[in-house]
Structure 1
Amino acid sequence: MPLHDPDHAQDANPLRAEQTHLAESRSALTAMRADVEALDISDVTGNWVNAKILAAEIDNRIKALADLSHTPLFFGRLDYLHAPGVEQAEGAEGEQFYIGRRHVHDAHGDPMVIDWRAPVSQPFYRASRVEPMDVRLRRRFGYTGGELTAYEDEHLTDPAEASTSSKLLQTEIERPRVGPMRDIVATIQPEQDEIVRAGIGGTVCVQGAPGTGKTAVGLHRVAYLLYAHRERLARTGTLVIGPNKSFLQYIEQVLPALGELQVKQATVDDLVAHVTVRGTDPAERARIKGDARMAEVLRRAVRSGIRMPKEPIVVVRGSRRWRVPAYELEELVRELMERDIRYGAAHEALPQRIAHNILVRMEESGEAPDDRVQDAVARNPAVKAAVKGVWPKADPAKTVLRLLSDAEFLAECAEGILTPEEQATLLWEKPPRSLASAKWSPADTVLIDETLDLVQRTHSLGHVVLDEAQDLSPMQYRAVGRRCSTGSATVLGDIAQGTTPWATASWEEALTHLGKPGAPVEELTRGFRVPRGVIAYASLLLPTIAPGLAPATSVRESPGDLVIRRTSAEELDAAVLAACHDALGHEGSIGLIAADDRIAPLAAALESAGLPYLAPGEETSAQARLTLVPATLAKGLEYDYVVLDEPAAIVTGEPDERTGLRRLYVALTRAVSGLAVLHAKPLPEELAAGPA
C-alpha cells in the first residue's frame, strides 16, 4: 500500500482535509471538556457526601477529556461499503468513521472520532482482504510530534490492489522507546484483538514470548472491559497486578492515555501486606511456604481451636432457666464444621443457633418470643462463654506465628501432608517472643492472607489482570484468585521466563491454583518488539529452559543490531562503558543490565565516567536516557538498546543453572533495536552456536 505524504503534490489536498478534521476534532474535544467544567452541581445533590462523590466523578471526566498534544486523537479511518446495521439502497455510500483513543462528538452530538473499543471500530483491527467485514477502505495516519503528516490507504475490496505490509504500522512498532510504556492502540493485531475483546464472563490466560505484546494486551483488555461493562466494573472494581514497583511505574501511563483513570495497580506483596516484612527466607523454606499443601495445614491450624462441649448451657431469663444439653451443643458444632463455612462466620452463627434452640423450648412451653428475644439470648453471658470455649475467635497472624514456632503444633497440623524434614525447614530457628518482634518474610504474609480468608471472606473484584504470572507460587496464585473469586481474570506470562524456585511448570496447574481451572490458554508467538536477530539468539536457550515452547518469530523488518564481544576481566568495565557511549549515540532509551552483585561496581564506573543513569522505573529524559538495571528487576521492561554485562554472572547468581539461564533469557530479550553482549567469562554452551 502506498504511503502518502506532503512531498507528493497530488496527495496534498486529501492530507489537508484530514488535518482539518483533526483540528476540528480537537476543537470539539475542547468544547466537550468546557461543557463538563461549566456544570453547576451546587443544588443537584441532597447532602455533602453525594456532592463530593459527584464532584470527584466530574473531575475524573474532565481529566479523561484532556487533549494530549503529542498523542494522536485518531489514528485510523474506516470507510464502510454500507452503513453498519442499516439496510441501504443499492449504490448508496456507507458511513465513514475515524478511529481514536476516545469518543469525540460535535455540538450536534454527531461523532467525529469513534472510540477504538466500540463495535464499529473492530474491523480496523480484524478486517482483511479475505474477510473485509464490509470495509471498503482502511486508512492509517502517520504523526510527527502530534501533527498529522502522512496517511496510508488499504482498499480491502479492490482485487487490483497488491497486498503489501503497512509502512506506517512498521514505523509505529519500531518507534524508539523513550519514557514509560506506551499504549499499542494503533497497532493491535488481529490475534491480540481477539484476546482484548474476549467477554468478561471467563478468564483468559496468555502465554506470550518476549515482545509479543502480552502486557499491552492485558492493559488494553482492561480498557475494553471498562468500556463494555462500565457499570458492572464500577461496582466490583478492577486491579492490575505486576511483579514489582518498577514494572508498575513503567506501565502506569497506559490506561490514563486511554482515558481510564480508576484502575488500581499493585504487587502481590501489596495485596497481602497484613504485617510488616522484615525478614527473608532461604529458597527451600520459601518454596515450602508457597506450596499448595500449606492451605490444608493452615486450615487445620485454624480449626485446631474447636473443642466439643462437655457441659450444658443454662440461660436464666427472669424466673425461668433454659438448659441446652452438651450433646445438642455438640450437634450444632458438628453441623457447622460439616458445612465448612468460614471460621469467623461460624463463630458468629453459633450463638444464634444456640439461641434458636432455646427459643424453640420457649415456644414449646407456651411463650411467644420474637427475634429480639433471640438476639438477647445470643448475647447472654452463658452463651458467649460457651461459644468462647468451643469455637474461640482466631487471629490469623497469631495462628501462623504459632505454626512456625511450635514444633508440636506444626506436627499436629502437618501430619500426612509435610514430611518431618519439611516441617523442620519451616520452623524458625529463634521463635519470636511476640507478634511485634516477629521478622515476617514475604512468604509468611501469603500464609497470613490464606489464614485470614479461612476466617473471613476476601473481597472479590470484577476483573484482575495478573502479569508475569509464571513466577508466582501456588499459594500466591490462591491469594490472587481470592481477589477474583466471583469475577474474571486475564493471566499473562511466559513459562520460559520463570525465574523463581517455585515458578509454575504449566498454565493448567497455575490456573487450578488460581481457582480458574479449564480457562483457555492463548499463545502469542509473533514478536513486535524484539528484533529478529536478537530473539533468534535468545531462543537458543529455549530447548534447555522450556523444551515445550515454540520460539517467537519477529515481524520486524530490521534484524536489529547484535554485538557479542569478549574481553578480559580487567577491561570488562571499560568495554561496557564504551558500549553505553555507542548506544547513547542512537535515539531512544538504553538499559545496562547486569547481575545484581555487579550493579555497585558498574554504578561507580558510570559515575567516574560522568554518565548519568536512572534506576528501573524512573522516566527517561533528554538528560538521562541510560538506566542501570539489576537482572532481577529486568522482567517486563524494555529499552531501545541494551548493554548486557557478563551473562555468566547472571546465570551463577541464581540458585540453579536452569533458573539462571531463564534469568539470562529475560535479560537478552529486553532490547527493541539493538543488543550488545560484553563478557569476560565463557558464555553458556547453549549460546555457543550464536554469532561469534
Structure 2
Amino acid sequence: MSEYEDELRSEREYVAGLYARLDSERAEANRRYKAALSSPVDPQNGSTLVERDAEVRAMAREMQRLDVADYGLCFGRLETLDDEHLYIGRLGLLDSENDYEPLLLDWRAPLARAFYVATAASPEGMRRRRQFHTRGRRVIDFTDETLGRPTGAELGEELDGPGDAALLAAVNAPRGEGMRDIVATIQAEQDEIIRFEHSGVLVIEGGPGTGKTVVALHRVAYLLYTQRKQMERHGVLVVGPSSEFLNHIGRVLPSLGESQAVFMTTGDFVPGLRVSAEDTEDAARFKGSLKMLDVLAAAVADRQELPEDPIPIDLSDVTVRIDAATAEWAREEARKTALPHNEARAEFIDVVTYVLTERAVARIGKGWLTRDDKHAWAQMRADVVNELEDHEQFTAALNRLWPILTPEDVLAQLYTSRERLSAAGADDALYRAEGEAWTVSDVPLLDELVDLLGRDKAADEAAERQRKEEAAYAAGVLDLMVDREDLMDDEDHLLAADLLDAEQLAERFQEQDGRELAERAAADRDWTYGHVVVDEAQELSEMDWRVLMRRCPRRSFTIVGDLAQRRSAAGATSWGSMLEPYVPSEAKGANRAGRWVYRPLTVNYRTPAEIMEVAAAVLAEFAPGVQPPESVRACGVKPWARKVTDDELATAIEEFAQEEAGREGTSVVIGPPGMPGTVPPAATKGLEFDAVLVVEPQQILADGPRGAAELYVALTRATQRLGVLHRDPLPAALSGLDER
C-alpha cells in the first residue's frame, strides 16, 4: 500500500469516527427533546411551564444544528509545526470520553482561521493544509499544500498551486437549485471580511462573481457564532432584491447551522403585505427620495380639516355648533403636543368638547345659573359631557375633522386625488386611479406613516376592556367550578381557585405564541434586529433605508452591493449619500461602533475570463471609472453571437434550451422586459447559471437610462457558457463576439 493510500485510509477512519460522534450527539439531543416534551408541569408554578418550553426549544434547535452536517461535515485539516492535527468542519465536535478534547473545529473558531488565510509566505504557524474531497460521508481523496515556502500562487493570479484544487472544483462544478456555501473554499480576501471585527455598518462592494453575497451570509454565521446571545435574542434580518433571490440563498445559513434569520424583500417590510409590482421610473424616483417625508406629513395634516360652515350638534336641551375658530384652536392645541396624528386626536376632542360644553351650559343656564355656583355648573358640565360621549352627530363631526387614520387610507386617498397631491406638494406622477394598487416603492411610505399616525388610543382601550371582560368571564367559570355548597367538610380540599386566579385563566383562553423567533420577528413591525444584511443594496431608496434603520437601532449592518449594477432610479449613487444621515464614515473619526466602513472584493471566482472580457467592454462604456473584478480562471469556451430573423428567433431559443437540457447544470434565457420566453435581467440579479443566452442585447441597452447596467448584469450570470441572439445590430461593446 502506498503512503497516499495509507493516509487516505487513515483519514477515512477519522471522518467515519466524526460521523459516529455526530450520530451519538443527535441521539442524545433527540432523547432530551422527548424527555422535555413529556416532563411533568406543576400547575401552580408558571415558571415550570416556561422552563419546559425553553428546554424543548433548545433541544429542537440543537437537533436542527446537528442535522445540517451530513454533507461535508469535515472538509480539511491543518498540521501545525508541532505535528498537531486540527480538523476543520461545518460545526464543532468534542470527545466526551477524553476531557472533551476537540475532535472537529467549527470553521468559525479562531483556531480554524489559518485554514483560510495561511499562505506560503505567511503560514500562520502551520506546516501543511489538507483539503478533503467527500461524497456523502466518505472521503474520496485529498490534496495537500505545504506551507512556509513559495508556491507561485497568489490571490488574483492564475490558480495553479496544489491547494487550489478544491476551489477550482467548486467554481467549475455545475450549478444546482440554490446557492451553495463556500465554507470549504473561503479565500483569504473573503475570510478577512467575514471575520472583520466591526460592530457598526460594513459595506462590501464587489463586481459580479466576487462572492459578496455568500461572504455576507458567512459573516452572519460568524457573528451568530461569536455573538450568539445578542443575535439569538433579536435575530438577523436578510434583505434581498426578489423572492427568487431569497429562495436561491435561503439554504446557505441553515447549511452552516444557523436558523435565526428572517428573509425579506423591500416589498415585505410591512407585515401582512407581499408586494412585488414596480412603479414608473418617475414615480419610483420621487417616492424613494426624502422629499416624501414632507409630502406624507402634509398629507396627514390635510386630513385635519376645518369646517367651511359650522356643524350643528343637537343636544337634548340646546343646539351647539363646531365652527372654524373652535376647530382651528383645537387643531393647534393637538399639533402642539407633537404626538402622532391618532394619539393627538384625544387633545383635539378635549378642546372641542370643552368649548361645546361651556357654550351648552351657558345657554341652558342663561338667566339662572352663573359660574359662581361652581357645583351646579360642574354638574351640568358633566351631564353635557356624558351626552356628547355617545352623540352620533358629535362623533361624526369628530371623524370628519380629525379622523382616525390608517397608513393605507392616507396613501390611497392621496394617490387618487390630484387636489390632495398638489396640496401635499407631491409630483403628479404619483397619481393613479386605483389607490391601493401597492408597489414596492409604497411599502416604506406605509411604514413611515405608522409612526406619523401612531396608535389608535380608542382601539387600545377597547382591547383592554375586552381583556377585563375575559377576566370577568373567567371568574364566572371559576365560580361554576367551585360550588362551595356541594363541598365536603374537608379543609384540605383543593379548589380550582387555589391553582389559578381569573386573570391566569383568561390568559389560558388567549392564544399562546409558540412561534420561533424568525416567525415572530417577521410578523412584528416594531421588532428590532441584532444585525441586518442588505444584498443588492445599491437598489434601495432613501426611504427604504429609513425603514431599515428603524429595524436596527444598534446600526449593526452588513451591506452588499455594486454601484455599477444599479438599475433603480431611486437607488444609491454613492454609499455615503445613503449612510451619512445615519452613521458617519470611517474617515470622520467616529467611534468604531458608530461608523460605516468600506471593504472591496476584487477577485471574480464565478465568471470565466472569456465571458468577463465581454462584460468588461460594456462596463467600460457606461462606467469608465469602474475597474471590473479580475477572473481567476478560464473555461476554454468563447462566448458567441448569432444573428437571426424574426421567424428564426423562437426556434433558436428552443435549440439552446434543448442543447442545455442534455448537460448537467442550470441555464436561463435573458431578454428585454416583456419578451415572451425570456427572463428580464432584473429577475436574475444575484443568481448564477452554467449557461446563459442573452436575447436582443440592443433592446436591453435601450430600456431606459440604466439599460447598460441591465445588460452588464445579464452578461455576468454565466459560469461556463454565454451565447447571444440578435435581430438588431449588436451594440458596439459586443461587436467582437464570434458570429455563429
Give the TM interval when normalised to the shorter protein.
0.7 to 0.9
Q: Which residue of 2 aligns with 1:110?
A: 101
Cα distance, 1:331–1:121 mapped onto 2, change above 3 Å: same
Secondary structure in 2 aligned to 1:227? helix
RMSD: 3.7
Q: Which residue of 1 aligns with 2:12?
A: 19
Shift of 1:116: 0.5
Matches within 5 A, 1:365-376: none
Secondary structure in 1 aligned to 2:607? coil
Q: Are the counterparts in 1 of residues 267 and 276 from structure 2 also a CA contact under 8 Å?
A: no
For 1:478 and 1:531, the matched residues in 2 are separated by 38
- Structure 1 window deviating more from structure 2 (52-61 vs 31-40): it is 52-61
Matches within 5 A, 1:564-603: 564-600=641-677
Secondary structure in 2 aligned to 1:206? strand
Q: Which residue of 2 aligns with 1:522?
A: 599
Counterpart AA for 2:87: Y
Counterpart AA for 1:473: S
Cα distance, 1:33–1:281 mapped onto 2, change above 3 Å: same
Does 2:425 match 1:425? no
Matches within 5 A, 1:3-152: 9-39=2-32, 40-41=35-36, 42-43=38-39, 46-48=47-49, 50-66=51-67, 68-69=69-70, 71-81=71-81, 93=82, 95-108=84-97, 109-152=100-143
Q: Are the counterparts in 2 of residues 278 and 439 from structure 1 also a CA contact under 8 Å?
A: no
Does 2:663 match 1:549? no
Q: Are the counterparts in 1 of residues 179 and 248 from structure 2 also a CA contact under 8 Å?
A: yes
Secondary structure in 2 aligned to 1:188? coil
Cα distance, 1:448–1:30 mapped onto 2, change above 3 Å: same
Shift of 1:160: 7.5
Cα distance, 1:275–1:583 mapped onto 2, change above 3 Å: closer
Matches within 5 A, 1:661-676: 661-676=708-723
Shift of 1:74: 1.2
Cα deviations across residues 652-681 of structure 1 (Å, max 9, x unaligned)?
4x3x1x422211111111111111222222
Q: Which residue of 2 aligns with 1:401?
A: 412
For 1:647 and 1:114, the matched residues in 2 are separated by 49
Cα distance, 1:292–1:156 mapped onto 2, change above 3 Å: same
Q: Are the counterparts in 2 of residues 275 and 440 from structure 1 also a CA contact under 8 Å?
A: no
Shift of 1:94: 5.8
Q: Are the counterparts in 1 of residues 668 and 693 from structure 2 also a CA contact under 8 Å?
A: yes
Cα distance, 1:279–1:679 mapped onto 2, change above 3 Å: closer
Shift of 1:431: 6.9
Q: Are the counterparts in 2 of residues 580 and 643 from structure 1 also a CA contact under 8 Å?
A: no
517, 520, 529: which one pairs with 1:461?
529
Does 2:533 match 1:533? no
For 2:528 and 2:170, the matched residues in 1 are separated by 38
Cα deviations across residues 6-65 of structure 1 (Å, max 9, x unaligned)?
xx9331111111111110000000001111111122437645455344323312211211
Q: Are the counterparts in 1 of residues 120 and 151 from structure 2 also a CA contact under 8 Å?
A: no
Q: Are the counterparts in 2 of residues 139 and 153 from structure 1 also a CA contact under 8 Å?
A: yes
Shift of 1:343: 5.6
Cα distance, 1:197–1:645 mapped onto 2, change above 3 Å: same
Shift of 1:232: 0.5
672, 682, 691: which one pairs with 2:729?
682
Shift of 1:336: 4.1
For 1:569 and 1:21, the matched residues in 2 are separated by 62
For 1:209 and 1:431, the matched residues in 2 are separated by 39
Secondary structure in 1 aligned to 2:116? helix
Q: Which residue of 2 aligns with 1:471?
A: 539
Shift of 1:510: 2.8
For 1:380 and 1:236, the matched residues in 2 are separated by 46
For 2:172 and 2:346, the matched residues in 1 are separated by 60
Cα distance, 1:381–1:18 mapped onto 2, change above 3 Å: farther
Q: Which has the higher helix share?
A: 2
For 1:171 and 1:279, the matched residues in 2 are separated by 39
Q: Which residue of 2 aligns with 1:638?
A: 688
Secondary structure in 2 aligned to 1:520? strand
Shift of 1:172: 2.0
Q: Are the counterparts in 1 of residues 331 and 348 from structure 2 also a CA contact under 8 Å?
A: no
491, 494, 500: which one pairs with 2:559?
491
Shift of 1:486: 2.7
Shift of 1:406: 4.2
Shift of 1:382: 10
Flag structure 1 segments of 5+ consecutive residues without an equivalent.
1-7, 82-92, 309-325, 353-378, 433-437, 601-627
Shift of 1:537: 0.5
Secondary structure in 1 aligned to 2:133? strand
Q: Are the counterparts in 2 of residues 204 and 490 from structure 1 also a CA contact under 8 Å?
A: yes
Cα distance, 1:381–1:304 mapped onto 2, change above 3 Å: farther
Normalized against structure 1, the TM-score is what?
A: 0.76
Q: Which residue of 2 aligns with 1:605?
A: none
Secondary structure in 2 aligned to 1:465? strand
Q: Are the counterparts in 2 of residues 462 and 484 from structure 1 also a CA contact under 8 Å?
A: yes
Cα distance, 1:411–1:218 mapped onto 2, change above 3 Å: same
For 2:735 and 2:4, the matched residues in 1 are separated by 52
Cα distance, 1:536–1:345 mapped onto 2, change above 3 Å: farther
Shift of 1:481: 2.7
Shift of 1:402: 3.6
Number of aligned pairs?
A: 588
502, 509, 517: which one pairs with 2:570?
502
Q: Are the counterparts in 1 of residues 19 and 137 from structure 2 also a CA contact under 8 Å?
A: no
Cα distance, 1:95–1:349 mapped onto 2, change above 3 Å: farther
Shift of 1:425: 2.4
Cα distance, 1:98–1:481 mapped onto 2, change above 3 Å: same
Cα deviations across residues 77-131 of structure 1 (Å, max 9, x unaligned)?
12233xxxxxxxxxxx364211111112233222211111111111111222332
Flag structure 2 segments of 5+ consecutive residues without an equivalent.
42-46, 154-159, 307-326, 351-384, 455-524, 586-595
Cα deviations across residues 505-554 of structure 1 (Å, max 9, x unaligned)?
122223246x3442222221210011111011111111233233111110
Q: Among the aligned pairs, what percent are the same residue? A: 35
Shift of 1:251: 1.2
Secondary structure in 2 aligned to 1:439? coil
Cα distance, 1:542–1:399 mapped onto 2, change above 3 Å: same
Cα distance, 1:198–1:350 mapped onto 2, change above 3 Å: farther
Q: Which residue of 2 aligns with 1:88?
A: none
Counterpart AA for 1:97: L
Secondary structure in 2 aligned to 1:111? strand
Q: Are the counterparts in 2 of residues 102 and 114 from structure 1 also a CA contact under 8 Å?
A: yes
**Could you say which structure has the larger radius of gyration?**
2
Q: Are the counterparts in 2 of residues 499 and 663 from structure 1 also a CA contact under 8 Å?
A: yes
For 2:630 and 2:560, the matched residues in 1 are separated by 19
Cα deviations across residues 554-577 of structure 1 (Å, max 9, x unaligned)?
012435442222233322222333
Cα distance, 1:276–1:126 mapped onto 2, change above 3 Å: closer
For 1:20 and 1:685, the matched residues in 2 are separated by 59
Cα distance, 1:350–1:672 mapped onto 2, change above 3 Å: same
Normalized against structure 2, the TM-score is what?
A: 0.72
Cα distance, 1:145–1:584 mapped onto 2, change above 3 Å: farther
Cα distance, 1:55–1:540 mapped onto 2, change above 3 Å: same
Cα deviations across residues 471-522 of structure 1 (Å, max 9, x unaligned)?
2222223223322233411111112222233332122223246x34422222
Q: Which residue of 1 aligns with 2:697?
A: 647
Counterpart AA for 2:547: A
